[in-house]
Structure formats: C-alpha cells, structure tokens
Amino acid sequence: MAAILPMRTAAEMALIERYHAEKATLPGAAEARAAAFERFEKAGLPSKRVESWHYTDLRNLLREAPPVAGETSALGALEFDDLPHRLVIANGRLVDGKVSAGVEMLPLAVALKAGRAALGVAMGEAIDSVVDLNTALCREGLFLKVTGDATLHLAFAEYVEDRRSVMPRIIVEVAPGVSFTLIESHTGPNGVAYQKNAVVELLIGEGAKVEHIRLNAGGDKALMLSTLAAKIGTEAELSSLNFTTGGEISRHQSFITYAGENAKLRLNGATILKGRQHADNTLVVDHAVPHGESRELFRSVIDGEAQGVFQGKIIVRPHAQKTDGQMASNALLLSDEAAMSNKPELEIFADDVVCAHGATCGALDDSQLFYLMARGLPRVEAEALLVEAFIDEALEAVTHDGVREALAARVSDWMRARKES
C-alpha cells in the first residue's frame, strides 16, 4: 500500500521549470530559495487534502502558471490618494513615489544581494507552499527600514490585459520604539484572470507600534494570494486589518510569531463578497513566549453564491504562560446560495492561559430588521444599516480617520450596488 503521489499539474510543472530556468539570475538568498523550492517541489500546490488549505483547493484553482507581468508606465486611479507618502508598485515594480525621512528604501534585489535583508525571517516556524513559491521565485519588491515615526501607503496596481502573474515581496524592519503605519492597497483590471502572490514580512522591534491595513480591491477575475508574516518583539504592538472585496479567488494568510514578552496583537478582518467570489482568511498566531496578548475579530458578509472561509489557529507553546488569546469570527449570509466555513482552532500546551474562540454564522436578524422597519426605514436601508454596523466593528481598529472612512464607504457602496442589481 504505497502512498499514491498525485500527478503534477501543468501549473506545478511550469513553476518548477521556471525556477530551474531562472535560478542563476534570481537575486541573492540562494540558500533560502533552494530550500523553499525543494519543499515546494515535494509538496506541490496545496490541495484540499492539505489541512490548512482544506477549503481553498489551490491545486484545482491555479490551473496554469501564466508568465510574469511586464513593465508598465500606466498610472490609473489609486486608492487613498490623500495620504502624503505613497509608493506606486505597478506590475510588481516600483514606478513612482517617495518615502518620509524616517524610512530607508532599497529595491529587494539590492537588499538581498547586499545581505541587508533575508527571506522568510518573519515566518518563524510556519511553513506554507505559497510563501515557499514566492521565496523561490520573487525578484521584485522592496526592503524598508523604518527608524522614525512614519506612515506609508504601498499602492499595488496591476496593468495587464492578459493572464499574467506578479510575485512581489516586501520586507519591513521597524526599529525599536518607532510608530509605523503601513497601508497596502491592491487594485487591478476586471475581466482579466491575473494571479498575484504577495508576501509582506514585518520584523517589529522592541516597543515599536505597527498598524497595517490591507485593502484587496483586485479585479473580478483575479486570483489573489497574500501573506503577512510578522515577528513581534518585546512589548511591541501590531494591529492589522485585511479588507477583502475584490478578486475572484482570494486568500489572505497571517503568520504571527511572538518573539518577546508582553507583546500585543490585534488582527481584524472585514470581508464582503458577492457573485461567485471565494475569500479565505487564514491565520496562525504563535504564542512562543509568555505574557502575550492577542485579539482577533473577523466579520464576513456573503451574498450571491459566494463562499467565505475563516481558519484561525492560536498556538500556545509550552512555557508561554499567562497568554491571553481571544478570537471571534462572525458571518452574515445574505442569500440562500452563500456559504461560510469557519475553523477556529486552539492548540494549547501551557496551563496558565486564558484562551477562547467564538464563531457564529447566520442571516440578518429578523427582529432587528423589524425594529428598524417599524421606525420607517425601507427594508433595503434597514439591511444596509445592519450590514454597515456589523462590518464597522472590525474597522474600528483603524486609527487613521480617512482610511477608516474610505473603507466604511466601500461597504455602503457595496450595499447600494446590491440594491440596484
């Protein structure tokens, strides 16, 4: 009864070939790339038989590996255009923008070759095929070293007319005691089946405070894979929000490791889906040291035939005493064909901890709707009010008023569009 290995898919073969063809010219970090490639070659693209990819069968979804997107100089409308410091990354390449005084910026290739940055440091003990793929093949991206308080907007925009792929890698090192806000926005054309595999690594120094906001407003045929890997130092704080509304297939994964005691984490998610969209939020919070605190709040609103997935795992390692972890995932299903899968996990090896998770799933509350309608609101407005309030709770973590309001406005627009269709 030998184990049966599945046949390689066309996409897997193309990716393996691409690595062999490009190996010699990939910038720096040869060892990390080789190790990542070896793991990828062995495991292949994750199928639903891989526990952490159970609800997003990438092997089946990523049918082909399209060529890498070329350079572009086109610049369309971008998100959050009122933010002072913005870097525009088109088709994975930096094309425009400046950073503030406290931020040093290097192209990824330069930083890797010079040994200023390494790949996969923020992943901790986590291993993931999609990250491995990015590690093995990434060329484009940035290394940012933040030494003074700053706010930076990374505007990722794809300008492709055909099936193309982009694999950017951003490595951010935040010096001790610094406050840094990182905003990512991802946009792209509708109707084009492009693929994106973006990895952001955050290395947060002692006592630093980082706020991270990611907006996925990708094209309606896009396959959007993204990873946030973070290592949080002693007494440091990280707050991250992932807002998903775009893409046909999306998966955002967060791998957070506590590197020092008394660190705090807040991970939030807001997802609004319609049509046949599929969005997956997967997170692994690894309490490797004592006295860590984590709060996760994920809200999903699912309409049409869309599918939402939430997989959250809190690991408390032996000796990580006094850990306090609370995780919640709530979903609203707006149509009969919508589906939601929740898998909140606790993996606990220390006894003096307080951990809890909750997950709920259901339709809009009839009594709440009735209450609003009895006060004169038409049904659609009552529904919109409830949905906006539901998502709002997840957005509360965003401290920048303009960004928070822009995200909230997206929810209102989404509900308005729903009414009209």
What is the contact surface with other proteins in residues (CB under 8 A)?
A: 1, 3, 51, 318-319, 331, 333-363
User: How near is the Cβ of 287 to other proteins at its closest, in Å?
Assistant: 12
- Residue closer to other proteins by CB (options 1, 74) is 1
- Residue closer to other proteins by CB (options 254, 330) is 330
- Residue closer to other proteins by CB (options 219, 344) is 344
- Residue closer to other proteins by CB (options 212, 313) is 313
User: How near is the Cβ of 70 to other proteins at its closest, in Å?
Assistant: 41
Query: 3-class DSSP state for residue 297?
Result: strand
- Residue closer to other proteins by CB (options 87, 338) is 338
User: How near is the Cβ of 223 to other proteins at its closest, in Å?
Assistant: 23
First and final CA of the chain: distance in angstroms? 54
User: How near is the Cβ of 254 to other proteins at its closest, in Å?
Assistant: 18
For residue 136, what are the contacts with CB-CB under 8 A and spacing of at least 6? 19, 33, 34, 36, 37, 40
- Residue closer to other proteins by CB (options 2, 24) is 2
Cα 176 to Cα 235: distance, rounded to the nearest angstrom: 10
- Residue closer to other proteins by CB (options 226, 281) is 281
User: How near is the Cβ of 333 to other proteins at its closest, in Å?
Assistant: 4
- Residue closer to other proteins by CB (options 166, 331) is 331
User: How near is the Cβ of 39 to other proteins at its closest, in Å?
Assistant: 19
Sign of the four-CA dihedral 278, 181, 314, 232: positive
Q: Which helix (H) or strand (E) holds 313?
A: strand 307-316
For residue 157, what are the contacts with CB-CB under 8 A and spacing of at least 6? 75, 76, 78, 88, 89, 90, 91, 186, 187, 188
Cα 216 to Cα 210: distance, rounded to the nearest angstrom: 19
User: How near is the Cβ of 400 to other proteins at its closest, in Å?
Assistant: 33
Residue 315 amino acid letter: I
- The 3 state secondary structure assigned to 201-233 is EEEECCCCEEEEEEEEECCCCCEEEEEEEEEEC
CA neighbours closer than 13 Å in the CB half-sphere of residue 237: 11
User: How near is the Cβ of 326 to other proteins at its closest, in Å?
Assistant: 10
CA neighbours closer than 13 Å in the CB half-sphere of residue 92: 25
Residue 303 amino acid letter: D
Cα 79 to Cα 403: distance, rounded to the nearest angstrom: 9
Distances (CA, A) of 281 to 252, 267, 396: 5, 11, 19
**Residues 303 and 338: beta-carbon distance below 8 Å:** yes
User: How near is the Cβ of 364 to other proteins at its closest, in Å?
Assistant: 9
- Residue closer to other proteins by CB (options 51, 71) is 51
